Chain A
Amino acid sequence: MEKAMKKNLLQAYKQAPWRTQIQWIGIFLLVLVGIAVVAGVYLMISGRAAAAGRRIQSLEADISALEMEINDLKTQYAQVSSAKSLSERANALNMTMLDPLEAMYIEVPGYIPPSQPVLAPPPSVEEISTPVLLPEFTASLWDWLRLKVFIEPSLPVESTESVTTEVAPAPTEVTP
């Protein structure tokens, strides 16, 4: 039975050679579709990387602008609450300096005088020293595949970071 089926198939291909051609064309198209899929994925990742890159650039510019704005507002606040302006407002309200002998002092048990003001920003979560931009956003698809498939598995865990920096393009001195 099996033998007979094989014989029929061979006979069919001999009688209609276009079947072989279709087979070749099918394989060719399959490869073509494969390439198109890979190209599509590459394009998609590149697009996402580009969009993420632009977003990061924009956010960094925003951070910079906001920091300047914060400093500016602090300075403006200091100007409107300067010793001179407060003194003028106090004079306008007919306030005068206290005579030390007129001052009334009261005992406050347990009173703790205000401590030195803290100017440093409040402690925040310790920053993790990992690259801000992952290699997925900076490496080409081929570099990324090479990293994940060939390089990373063969390396000890602690040296992963050095590999990620290796993939990133080295900055070069250029003229603006």
Chain B
Amino acid sequence: MRTTNWNRFFIICVLASVVAGVAGIQLIRIQNIEGAKQILADSEAYQGINRMIYPERGSIYDSDGRLLAGNEVIYEVGLDLQAIQQPETVASVASSILGLDYARVLGYTQMKPGNGNPYFIVLDGFVSKDKIAQLESIKEDYSNRSAKRGEVRPNLNGLVWTANNKRSYPEGTLASNMLGFYSFLDRTDGIGYFGVEEAYDDLMAGEPKQVYSAIDPNLLIAIEEVPPGVTVQLTFNREIQAMTETKLDEAIEWSGAENGTIIVYDPETGEIIAMATNPRLDPNEYWNYSDLFPNPEPFNSAISSTYEPGSVFKVITMAAGLDSGVVTPESTFNDTGSLYVGGATIYNWNMGGWGEVDMTGCMQHSLNVCLAWLGMELGPDRFYSYMKSFGFDRNTGIDLGGESHWPLKLPGDGLWYEVDLATNSFGQGISVTPIQMVMAIGAIANDGKMMAPHVVKAMVIDGKQYSIDPVVVGTPISANTARTLTNMLVNSLENEASNALVEGYSLAGKTGTGEIATPLGYTNYSTNTSFVGWGPAEDPKFLVYIWLEKPEISIWGSEVAAPVFSDLVSDLVVLMNIPPDNVRLADKPGDTSLVNAE
């Protein structure tokens, strides 16, 4: 009996072991056949997903930390066709809230997913928060309704919305010529156009990353952080920019000019304090670009438009003459009213002669003949060497997208003639951009040091802020020459009792009236009027450059651009907190500072 029991027990154990062994072997075999490997590989598709994460685009702030370009939440509303239970209800609500055609949406909702049809259809990629709130309200209302037996409660299953970032420019058109715009309608391949958005596009966009996120909680790994794009802080103050744009708009309206540009620049650092042009695009509606800027009109004329500047260029010629030692402020010139050069005769603006004048007088009366003579005295080699030193043969390198320049004609070029030296000396026959003029004349206001113009003051990269240091791009003239010329231009403005003067402030400046070249020659009824001025003269904090194109009320820069300078600087000194000379020069530097009590 005992043996029988043991035998039975032994047999059961053996059988169980065999069964278990066979099952084990089978398990191992199944796990290693080709099909099993395929199943395993397929199963990984359900363990997680690889997603491309696009970082949040970096913001843009003004010098005081006010937001100029940021991101706002916008929603993408779509149909998950597999989840739709009530096509009519979904179509009715979606079409009424989103303003879509009911029949079209109904067609989508009744579509069977798969077999060539999509599983998800985007109805609208840019839906505002208000509309989403309405959808949420309706959804909640439906879910709170009670249904009697046999009744079906309405639902919006299958109508889904997800939040996304959208580029937003809260100041509208303000400084849009410097900001540029980002093509946010293209959610994955949008890029920055013009201005800061273009120049810093790669940095502000950040690095999109392929990120794996597990669905199976047992396989969960930490989702990799995708750092936002670089945030930039600009050099200009929003209030000064707004004031400058207002002054420009008023000047255009008052003068009847076709277009205008005003640049306010810090000659000591190269920072752009303001840059106003027209027209200005609202970057929130960048799709209006082609309407506002029909070809070939540039987006930002301050850096892209070239023109013959006229007499403001005499500042450069005089700087070269003084720096080379060809003339001194006291040097005299006997102005007969004309000068024959290279087969052409140069005349003054009033076609008259001014007799014996010193160099300050030449600048004060803006004598073409005097400056043409000075150019000839310098000779082509020295003159154009100075032009290159002042940067007229290249872009300034300002950190804005879209800068361009007109090639400088040089002796030896096919298109250069001897008369060009004479005409270039008083700003005709040479094309420049306003920003080139600003950078070059900035050297005269900054003891001979020419600073690289720039609009980005600082950047925030990975949570750390980095300041941009000013860059000296050259020293075309000596400090002594720069101070001498500044004093000459202060005196010439005061002697002339110029419309550009601002009571209480010593300012240096020069008017400009440039004739416009046409296929039939230069016109004398339509001009480019300009003014360049800087101050306070003893320690310049700003340089203002004004260009008004084809004004109607007058052809002269002294009558059109100079008063605009005076009007602008009157407000600029308040906003920049620069006291009048009598207050400022009485101040003891070092231990006290002056504060505008108003």
Contact = CB atoms under 8 A, between A and B. Distances in A.
Contacts of B243: 97
B172 interface: yes
B571 interface: yes
B465 A169 contact: no
B152 interface: no
A78 B170 contact: yes
A157 interface: no
A50 B215 CA distance: 10
B518 interface: no
B597 A75 contact: no
Interface residues of B, number: 74
Contacts of B73: 68-69, 71-72
Interface in B486-535: 502-505
Given A110-B591, A111-B595, A174-B50, A71 B220 contact: no
Contacts of B504: 100-101
Interface in B216-240: 217-223, 231, 233, 238-239
A79 interface: yes
A107 B170 contact: no
B218 A50 contact: yes
A16 to B, nearest CB: 11
B31 interface: no
B125 interface: no
A133 B220 contact: yes
Contacts of A172: 44, 47-48, 212
Interface stretch (B56-64, B294-302, B305-313): B56-64
A101 B580 contact: yes
Nearest to B594: A105
Interface stretch (A2-10, A33-41, A51-59, A145-153): A51-59
Interface string B62-86: 0111111011110000000000000
Contact of A75 (B71, B457, B580): B71
A119 B595 contact: no
Interface residues of A, number: 65
Contacts of A116: 63, 233, 457-458, 467
A108 B593 contact: yes
A160 interface: no
A22 interface: no
Contact of B460 (A84, A119, A173): A119
B148 interface: no
A39 B295 CA distance: 75
A176 interface: yes
B45 interface: yes
B595 A174 contact: no
A111 B598 contact: no
Contacts of B63: 116-117
A133 B221 CA distance: 6
B592 interface: yes
B580 A100 contact: yes
B502 A105 contact: no
B242 A87 contact: yes
B2 A109 contact: no
A106 to B, nearest CB: 5
Interface of A: 17, 46, 49-54, 56-57, 60, 65, 67-69, 71-72, 74-79, 81-84, 87, 97-113, 116-121, 131-133, 137-138, 140, 168-169, 171-176
Given A117-B65, A138-B219, 11 more contacts: A52-B217, A60-B223, A97-B574, A104-B597, A105-B594, A110-B591, A116-B233, A119-B465, A121-B463, A131-B222, A169-B221
26 contacts: A54-B217, A56-B222, A67-B56, A69-B73, A71-B71, A71-B72, A74-B70, A75-B70, A75-B72, A77-B67, A79-B168, A83-B239, A84-B174, A84-B242, A97-B243, A101-B504, A104-B598, A105-B596, A107-B594, A117-B65, A118-B465, A133-B221, A133-B222, A171-B214, A171-B221, A172-B212
- The 8 A-B pairs of least Cβ separation, nearest first, read A53-B217, A171-B212, A117-B65, A132-B222, A78-B170, A78-B67, A53-B220, A120-B465
